[in-house]
Amino acid sequence: MSEPQLADLLGGADGVADDGPGAIAAALASAPAVNESPEARDERLMDAAVALARSGTGATYPNPCVGAIVVQGERVVGAGRSAVTGGPHAEVSALSQAGGAARGATVYVTLEPCSHFGRTPPCTGALIAAGVAEVVVGTLDPAAHAGGRGLELLRAAGIRVRHGVLAGACASAHEHYLHHEATRLPFVTLKIASSLDGQIAAGSGDSKWITGEPARRLGHWLRARHHAIAVGADTVLRDDPALSVRMVTGVDPLPVIFDSALRVAGAVRRPTLLRPGTVVLHTNRAPAAAQRAVDDLGLRRIELAGDAEGRVDVAGALQALGQLPLRSLLVEGGGRMIASFVAAGAWQRFYWFHAPVVLGDGKPAAAGLKVAAVADATRLRPLLRTDVGVDGLTILVPPADRAEEPARRES
């Protein structure tokens, strides 16, 4: 799973979604245990690289945030993670910090080093030039320009290469990137904050605030870790959200609006999200005047087929967003949006915050989801149950994602 920082955040951390300096300092301080086996050493050092990778998830889109460690003997002499797109890759940063100590060293890296020229030269060239003796890779890069080619180039240069150390943890750290490379669809996370009786707002529409500050801070942590964030037209018109990252340090995700008829274009007061860069998805129900208005504001407008009820088709939307390309998408609602993704089975992770409050006749968390019998309901698989301040949090995955296993409970 991709929630290793969750315990730190819930334990009273400052809520820093992007803590590269802290992760680098921790990696440099990594020291061997007494009578440490070679396998345990590999795992300890790769785990430090994984922590580096996770520390920047969301800050380097569309590139994955990779972690790298340079080890000379028993001492970590360099540590780095990917910079923003166009900046140094993890291996280059770690080698730069190591300097001459990189010669003859072992490098631990979470994802196969790149071997192609993009905005920066290939990392394989930097590793070869630095004279490292060995490279240990967590997981291969499935991209068309990679797929093991980086490892072949390193071996051809006389560098020992191993891969598969903490492969599961490395794949989890890069799950947004790996999912998109495998499917060309964004990794979808659903997020709900509801009352105990499943309402996301009171009958009047008021929803500020159902959950407490710790849960809201975690919600912003989720925003910072995703490439884009989606809401429906009802949410835009009712709440005028900014969908920005607050309460934690991180990069704002790209806003995406699902609005079949482009109702947001006719708002009396222009919504905050109607600004250049925002993606708006609609169907042929949208009037030509509304389409022109959206175009004039500089939004990225994409017309898609409608579903049986005339709304934007979820499958088509994900295909279009994946082609942009968007690596990951956080869906924050409202209720009809959440219901449409659940009905389509188009999600990989579900964060459900539930507050100790009862709202009665309000706005349901999964509005419009029609289930005739309990036996027909979608059974989600709990991955983790924990407390977030006074609120509860259940993290779920689709039933087909993994074999039967009990939910973990954290207190």
- Average pLDDT of span 367-389: 87
Q: Evaluate if residue 8 carries a pLDDT over 50.
A: no
| Residue 375 pLDDT grade (very low, low, confident, very high; cuts 50, 70, 90) | confident
pLDDT for res 250: 87
Specify the CATH number for 185-410; select among 3.40.430.10, 3.30.420.40, 3.60.10.10, 3.90.1510.10: 3.40.430.10
- 134 annotated active-site: no
Q: Is 65 annotated as a binding residue?
A: no
Which pairing describes strands 349-355 and 391-397: parallel, antiparallel, or unpaired?
Answer: antiparallel
Q: In one letter, which amino acid is 336?
A: R
Q: Which of 81-95, 106-120, 281-295, 396-410 has the lowest mean pLDDT?
A: 396-410
Q: Is 239 annotated as a binding residue?
A: yes
Q: Do domains 6-179 and 185-410 have the same CATH topology?
A: no
Q: Is 243 annotated as a binding residue?
A: yes
Specify the CATH number for 6-179; select among 3.40.50.920, 3.40.140.10, 3.20.10.10, 3.30.70.3400: 3.40.140.10
- Contact call for residues 200 and 194 (beta carbons, < 8 A): yes
CA distance 296 to 39: 59
Beta strands in 283-338, from DSSP E residues, in sequence order: 300-303, 328-333
Which helix (H) or strand (E) covers residue 397, if one does?
A: strand 391-397
- Contact call for residues 94 and 79 (beta carbons, < 8 A): yes
Q: In one letter, which amino acid is 124?
A: T
Q: Which of residues 304 and 363 earns the better pLDDT score?
A: 304
Q: What is the DSSP letter of 228?
A: E
Q: Is 180 annotated as a binding residue?
A: no
Q: Which residues fall within 8 angstroms of residue 37, CB to CB, at 6 or more apart? A: none
- Average pLDDT of span 248-275: 94
- Domain ranges, ordered by start, for the chain: 6-179, 185-410
CA distances from 236 to 19, 233, 292, 314 (A): 31, 5, 19, 18
Largest CA distance in the chain: 73
Catalytic residue among 91, 112, 175, 181: 91
Closest CA to 94 of 66, 58, 61, 73: 66
Closest CA to 75 of 45, 47, 109, 40: 45
Q: Is 170 annotated as a binding residue?
A: no
Q: Is 334 annotated as a binding residue?
A: yes
Which pairing describes strands 381-388 and 391-397: parallel, antiparallel, or unpaired?
Answer: antiparallel
- Average pLDDT of span 149-153: 94
Phi, psi of 192 (to 5 degrees): -130, 140
- Average pLDDT of span 298-304: 96
Query: pTM (2 decimals)?
Result: 0.88
